[in-house]
């Protein structure tokens, strides 16, 4: 006898045994049975719940954890010179486009943009990159109230409703082409000493020769990413490409909280972006 036939016989006998041993439906002695009327067996009500649905819930994918990226951008009047604000707008647009397409298996990239110039404000409140429907272009005007931007960033990082405890390590990015004109030291110290804010990865870019490099050099805390100096529009693009690669690498890492190398790509062949800032 072949194995298939043997297996078929075993299954057949098992089914017959089950049918033979099924209990008969008892008839209550207190209820008379009308002659010629067939007895209707009592059927137990079906059990509540959907086993298929329970199985789906058991194997449902976990909700991705937020990975916040917060940019503090100088939009003072001097950023309107030599194509700096245009280069920044283009670089931010490219970064957002890449973030919006990234896998959300473990981490979901969120982006917030603080601008400081004529006023300090949330140009883009913290939102999932995939939900950001176009980033309104930045315009440059006013002074450089950097300290107020530090306060806004710290308030966000300390807000557990907007950045929950389950979020991955945030990324703070500071860029400026000038010198702060407000009290920045106190707010910067408060930011660095905040229990939650001090866990963030901080990156910084000095744009042009007039940037306060001594001050900006205090901001970064990534061991492989000291202050980056942008001498032309192409360098702004290169810096944000490095940010994009660093963040997206974390989203697919086994542990998105781990620091990853921050490598600024070499210059490309776009000679239109080669003109150095004065």
Mean pLDDT value across residues 92-112: 92
Q: Does CATH number 3.30.70.20 belong to domain 83-273? A: no
The winner for highest mean pLDDT among 57-61, 114-118, 133-137 is: 114-118
Q: Is the pLDDT of residue 1 over 70?
A: no
Mean pLDDT value across residues 76-100: 96
* Greater model confidence, 224 or 147: 147
- Mean pLDDT across the chain, nearest whole number? 83
d(CA 166, CA 64): 10
Residues across the chain: 278
Contact (Cβ atoms closer than 8 angstroms) between residue 218 and residue 208: no
pLDDT digits (tens, 9 = 90+) for 198-251: 999 999 999 999 999 999 999 999 988 999 999 999 999 999 999 999 999 999
Residue 272, SS3 per DSSP = helix
Structure-token match 């086994």, residue found: 254
- % of residues, the chain, pLDDT over 90: 65
As beta bridge partners, residue 207 has: 230
d(CA 61, CA 57): 9
d(CA 229, CA 46): 71
d(CA 42, CA 25): 7
* Greater model confidence, 277 or 190: 190
Mean pLDDT value across residues 131-156: 95
Q: Is the pLDDT of residue 269 over 90?
A: no
* Residue 221, pLDDT score: 94
CA-closest candidate to residue 76, choices 134, 4, 126, 148:
148
Residue 158, SS3 per DSSP = coil
* Residue 28, pLDDT score: 46
DSSP state string for 105-122 = SSEEEEEEEEEESSSEEE
Alpha carbon of residue 88 to chain centroid: 21
Q: Is the pLDDT of residue 173 over 70?
A: yes
Tell me which H or E stretch contains 201: strand 201-207
pLDDT digits (tens, 9 = 90+) for 17-46: 444 444 444 444 444 444 455 555 555 555
* Residue 32, pLDDT score: 47
* Residue 49, pLDDT score: 56
* Residue 19, pLDDT score: 42
* Greater model confidence, 78 or 224: 78
Q: Is the pLDDT of residue 110 over 70?
A: yes
d(CA 165, CA 159): 10
Q: Taking the CB of residue 124, how many other CB atoms lie within 10 A of it?
A: 18
The domain locations on the chain are: 83-273
User: Which pair of structure tokens corresponds to residue 177?
Assistant: 């082409």
């Amino acid at each position: 006898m072949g194995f298939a036939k043997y297996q078929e016989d075993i299954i057949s006998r098992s089914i017959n045994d089950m049918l033979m041993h099924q209990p008969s439906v008892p008839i209550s002695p207190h209820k008379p049975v009308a002659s010629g009327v067939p007895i209707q067996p009592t059927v137990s009500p079906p059990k509540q719940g959907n086993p298929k649905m329970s199985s789906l819930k058991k194997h449902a994918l976990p909700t991705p954890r937020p990975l916040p990226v917060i940019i503090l951008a100088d939009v003072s009047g001097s950023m309107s010179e030599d194509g700096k604000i245009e280069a920044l707008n283009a670089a931010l647009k490219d970064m957002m486009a890449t973030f919006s397409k990234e896998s959300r298996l473990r981490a979901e990239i969120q982006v917030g943009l603080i601008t400081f110039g004529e006023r300090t404000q949330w140009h883009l409140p913290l939102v999932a990159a995939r939900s950001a429907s176009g980033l309104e272009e930045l315009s440059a005007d006013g002074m450089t109230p950097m300290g107020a931007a530090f306060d806004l960033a710290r308030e966000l990082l300390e807000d557990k409703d907007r950045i929950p405890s389950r979020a991955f390590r945030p990324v703070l990015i500071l860029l400026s082409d000038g010198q702060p004109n407000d009290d920045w030291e106190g707010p910067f110290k408060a930011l660095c000493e905040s229990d939650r804010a001090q866990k963030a990865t901080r990156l910084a870019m000095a744009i042009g020769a007039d940037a306060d490099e001594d001050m900006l050099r205090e901001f970064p805390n990534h061991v492989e990413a000291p202050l980056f100096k942008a001498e032309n529009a192409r360098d702004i693009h290169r810096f944000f490409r490095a940010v994009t690669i660093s963040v997206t690498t974390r989203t697919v890492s086994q542990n998105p909280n781990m620091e990853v190398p921050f490598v600024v790509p070499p210059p490309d062949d776009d000679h239109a972006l080669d003109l150095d800032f004065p």
